[in-house]
Chain A
Amino acid sequence: MSISGIFLILFLIVHLTVNSMIVFDDSGALFNQAAHFMATDPIIGVIEPILAIGLIVHFLFASIITFKNQRKRDVNYAGLGRYKKLDAAAGSNWPSRNMYILGGLILIFLVIHLINFFWKMKFTGDPLLHTPTGLEGDVENAYNLVTTKFIEWKWLVGIYVVGALALGLHLYHGVWSAFQTLGWSNRKWRDIWNVIGLIITILFAGGFAFIPLFVMIQSMV
């Protein structure tokens, strides 16, 4: 769990970097170049299936652990009904107890996300991709596809914001938890990981939510 998780975080850093180019360049040239590179570079081509495997491993392990762990308590506490919010949560935060649900949300989001963009760029294509980019060579206009969708389908922006939030909460527990599981933690490092986790949470939840919002709002102004 921890190793695949850390691997996926590394991917997310790259992904966020590429996405942020939407914000930094209104013409879309920067983003298109990056997207083109990601789509055609042979090294990325190798990494892509590894990434997919990482994701599957992460998901499978999570499923096994979650279902196994759920079976370790046959009768649940009645006392929790009334006090669930007050007391039982006192020691552990909500995300830590709901990683699988958060992960599930992220997975649903991922499917929507892939159908909308990745699938089209990679396989089916889309008329929006074949608009001029002003760049040399056969570069698809990914920027056009992304921004147009966000402007046309306001609900899509909502899904992205929810997805980003789920991802953030998932990481809030995931970062420290991964290092704890690997034994790279003690009283002091625990605080450090928690701060790093919080930074990553804000960065990723904020970053991934900000981009579609930015595109949408920019179009409305």
Chain B
Amino acid sequence: MKLILKIWRQASPKDEGGFQTYHLDDASQDMTFLELLDALNEKLIVEDQDPVAFEHDCREGICGSCAMMINGRPHGPGEETTTCQLNMKAFRDGDTIIVEPWRARAFPVIKDLVVDRSAFEKIMEAGGFVDVDVSAVPDANTYPVARRDAEEAFDAAECIGCGACVAACKNSSAMLFVAGKVSQYALLPQGQMEGLQRAWNMVAKMDELGFGSCTNTGACEAECPKGVSLAHIARLNRQFLKAGFKKVGEEKN
């Protein structure tokens, strides 16, 4: 299979980047997309060129490292697929494939296809945890959780933190990412105590770090490799509004 790859190359955060065109004549439909990039890099290294930098680790769709825009779609074509799971069967002989990094002010490019997603880390630090110490906790069966709630919490917790939601959103909003965490804890008895504060703090941090706001287009959900639902954003919104009312009330008191 012959392919033309147009890949964003950028040496460092400060350098200007641009598209480079590569012709690959011996691609195979049996490859995954990352194996295709491996093959390209093997060539580049031998030719003494800087290989394309991209993040990858588990290569089974769970670590969330791999992240790139392929033909205008985060993680490329296919439903609920990470780049590492993307099969080259999705492309045809002679195709031109445009590969670029996530674009968002909050995710500056580090090199080529590698972006700095540390903003997600800061959002998590703003409240993405249950405020409980190690040890001195009750028996796990002390608080029953309805099976449906446990499943819904799991659905929210499936987020792999890859950033596709931000990349897909026309506003570069991280609402789905935030909603995943807030919703997971909102559904479980363990997350109740600081639940409203969590929603408030995480959304505030998201705004502060340069992510846009949510206008409910639903692009995030459609591109999320784990299919995290917009229903979690609704739950986040409920928590956020409640937190807002509570804040107003508390300030009055």
Contacts and interface: CB of A to CB of B under 8 A. Distances in A.
30 contacts: A68-B212, A69-B170, A69-B172, A69-B212, A71-B105, A72-B171, A73-B104, A73-B105, A76-B103, A77-B100, A78-B98, A78-B100, A79-B98, A87-B77, A88-B72, A88-B219, A91-B168, A91-B220, A91-B222, A93-B217, A97-B170, A97-B219, A177-B216, A180-B216, A181-B214, A182-B237, A183-B236, A183-B241, A186-B231, A189-B234
A190 interface: yes
B215 interface: yes
A91 B172 contact: no
A59 to B, nearest CB: 15
A51 B230 CA distance: 31
Interface in B2-22: 6, 8, 19
A122 interface: no
B217 A97 contact: yes
B153 interface: no
Interface of A: 65, 68-69, 71-84, 87-88, 90-93, 96-97, 99, 173, 176-177, 180-187, 189-190
Given A72-B106, A72-B211, A185-B231, A77 B237 contact: no
Interface in B224-249: 229-231, 233-241
Contacts of A187: 229, 231
Contacts of A87: 71-73, 77
A96 B215 contact: yes
A3 B98 CA distance: 41
Given A78-B19, A79-B69, A97-B170, A91 B221 contact: yes
B223 A79 contact: no
A180 B233 contact: yes
Nearest to B77: A87
B156 to A, nearest CB: 12
Contacts of A181: 214, 216, 237
Interface in B73-130: 73, 77, 98-100, 103-106
B41 interface: no
Contacts of A176: 216
B210 interface: yes
Contact of A190 (B106, B168, B217, B231): B231
A68 B220 CA distance: 19
Contacts of A177: 215-216
A26 B250 CA distance: 59
A79 to B, nearest CB: 4
Contacts of B220: 91
B105 A74 contact: yes
A30 B239 CA distance: 47
A76 B101 CA distance: 11
B234 A91 contact: no
Nearest to A100: B215
A84 to B, nearest CB: 7
B237 A69 contact: no
Contacts of A97: 170, 217, 219
A48 B88 CA distance: 60
A182 B216 CA distance: 11
B218 A72 contact: no
A180 B230 contact: yes
Contact of B103 (A77, A91, A184): A77
B203 interface: no
Nearest to B239: A183
B114 to A, nearest CB: 15
Contacts of B221: 91
B213 interface: yes
B231 A88 contact: no
Which among A65, A88, A99, A173 has the highest number of chain B CB atoms within 10 Å? A88
A91 B223 contact: yes
B219 A83 contact: no
Nearest to B236: A183
B66 interface: no
B52 interface: no
A14 B236 CA distance: 33
B178 interface: no
B7 to A, nearest CB: 11
B70 interface: yes
Residue picked from A68, A93, A184, A185, most chain B C-beta under 10 Å:
A185
Contacts of B238: 183-184
B3 to A, nearest CB: 15
